[in-house]
């Protein structure tokens, strides 16, 4: 119930291509879905986030697509660049009790080849 | 500059020798938490604190202690470290538990031999 399942574990994309990372959840009490980006030797940093009242959110080259009925959400990186090479974590946060904490997926290591 | 500061960044210790990893934030955040990051397992929460003197267990609290005596500081204590606590540790803070953004420290890489 508390898990967030993330795939793929690793992803190699050519420069200019589209990177897609998927996440799925079970707990319908989750109401906030952020994506974090982590570069080697650094802590994770918030990249983009969405709430379940919208189906899509776009910030520059990064887009979250959200499917409430399927309990899935995904990160799309358009025109992927070598500088996007990092580990990406999806997460979910619920409402009340221990569900107020962020639950993270296991991460996707993205490599963008020049 | 708004930041979460962890110390030390790297630590090698021996089994059973008590250690403390410090965490301090300068954003007046109420909510702080500790995570460990292991390959293939992602980020797992160890403990969290919703305010001074208010702490609670996360998903993997065994072998760890925390305290929150001041709002800005949230140290992680390993009373008797074991090799299975070798990991990369992150402290994070946010204005409130349900605030939109968690700010992470740079991480502490701990090796227990």
Over residues A85-98, the pLDDT tens digits come to 999 999 998 765 55
Q: Taking residues B31-50, report their average pLDDT.
A: 94
Q: What integer pLDDT is reported at residue A95 of this predicted model?
A: 62
pLDDT over 80 (residue B99): no
Instruction: Please list the pLDDT of chain A residue by residue as tens digits (114 residues).
Output: 568 999 999 999 999 999 999 999 998 888 889 999 999 999 999 999 998 889 999 999 999 999 999 999 999 999 999 999 999 999 998 765 555 688 999 999 999 999
**What Cα–Cα distance (Å) separates residue B31 from each residue in A22, A48, A66, B50, B110?**
28, 20, 27, 5, 24
Q: What integer pLDDT is reported at residue B8 of this predicted model?
A: 97
Task: Tell whether B46 is within 8 A of chain A (Cβ).
Answer: no
Query: Could you tell me which chain B residue has the CA closest to the CA of A33?
Result: B100
Q: What integer pLDDT is reported at residue A96 of this predicted model?
A: 57
Q: Report the 3 state secondary structure along B32-52.
A: EEEEEEECCCEEEEEEEEEEC
Please tell me the distance from the alpha carbon of residue A12 to that of residue A114, in angstroms, as a whole number.
11
Q: Cβ contact (<8 Å) for B101 and A46?
A: yes
Mutation target vs B (from A9, A35, A38, A44; most B CBs, 10 A cutoff): A44
Q: What integer pLDDT is reported at residue B2 of this predicted model?
A: 85
Please tell me the distance from the alpha carbon of residue B49 to that of residue B66, in angstroms, as a whole number.
9
Query: Could you tell me which chain A residue has the CA closest to the CA of B98?
Result: A100
pLDDT over 80 (residue B96): no
**CB-CB neighbors (< 8 A) of B100 in chain A:** 32, 34, 46, 49
**CB-CB neighbors (< 8 A) of A1 in chain B:** none
Q: Taking residues B72-91, report their average pLDDT.
A: 98
Q: Rounded mean pLDDT of chain B?
A: 94
Say if residues B110 and B13 touch (Cβ distance below 8 Å).
yes
Say if residues B29 and B93 touch (Cβ distance below 8 Å).
yes
Q: Taking residues B73-83, report their average pLDDT.
A: 97
Task: Tell whether B34 is within 8 A of chain A (Cβ).
Answer: no
């Amino acid at each position: 119930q508390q898990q967030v399942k993330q795939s793929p574990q690793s992803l190699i994309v050519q420069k200019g291509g589209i990177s897609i990372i998927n996440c799925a959840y079970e707990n319908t009490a989750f109401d906030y879905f952020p994506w974090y980006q982590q570069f080697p030797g650094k802590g994770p940093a918030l990249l983009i986030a969405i709430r379940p009242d919208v189906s899509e959110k776009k910030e520059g080259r990064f887009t979250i697509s959200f499917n409430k009925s399927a309990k899935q959400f995904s990160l799309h990186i358009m025109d992927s660049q070598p500088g996007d090479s990092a580990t990406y974590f999806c997460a979910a946060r619920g409402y009340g009790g221990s569900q107020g904490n962020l639950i993270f997926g296991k991460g996707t290591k993205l490599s963008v080849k020049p | 500059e708004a930041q979460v500061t962890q110390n030390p960044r790297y630590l090698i210790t021996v089994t059973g020798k008590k250690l403390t990893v410090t965490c301090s934030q300068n954003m007046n955040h109420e909510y702080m938490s500790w995570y460990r990051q292991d390959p293939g397992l992602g980020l797992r929460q160890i403990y969290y604190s919703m305010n001074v003197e208010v702490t609670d267990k996360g998903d993997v609290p065994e072998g760890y202690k925390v305290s929150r005596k001041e709002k800005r500081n949230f140290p992680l204590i390993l009373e008797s470290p074991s090799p299975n606590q070798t990991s990369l540790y992150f402290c994070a803070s946010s204005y409130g538990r349900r605030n939109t953004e968690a700010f992470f420290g740079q991480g502490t890489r701990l090796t227990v031999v």
